[in-house]
């Protein structure tokens, strides 16, 4: 079970990093939908990290 949690945490961390990168790249004078996705991804990552 611990291995599964660690792998999920890695997947969520990579997803958050890629989504943040997309939000930064597409930021043209204002927030894009990627910014909302990035915030959501980071929040999910923090929740999983806290449960660990």
For residue 5, pLDDT beyond 70: no
CA distances from 43 to 11, 21, 28, 37, 48 (A): 14, 16, 24, 10, 9
> In the prediction, which pLDDT does 49 show?
85
Give which of 15, 19, 6 is closest to 48, Cα–Cα.
6
For residue 17, pLDDT beyond 60: yes
pTM: 0.76
Q: What is the mean pLDDT of the chain?
A: 85
> In the prediction, which pLDDT does 50 show?
86
Average pLDDT over residues 30-39: 87
């Amino acid at each position: 079970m611990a291995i599964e949690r660690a792998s999920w945490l890695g997947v969520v961390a990579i997803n958050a990093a890629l989504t943040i990168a997309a939000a930064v790249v597409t930021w043209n004078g204002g927030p894009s939908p990627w910014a909302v996705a990035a915030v959501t991804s980071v929040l999910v990552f923090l929740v999983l990290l806290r449960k660990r």
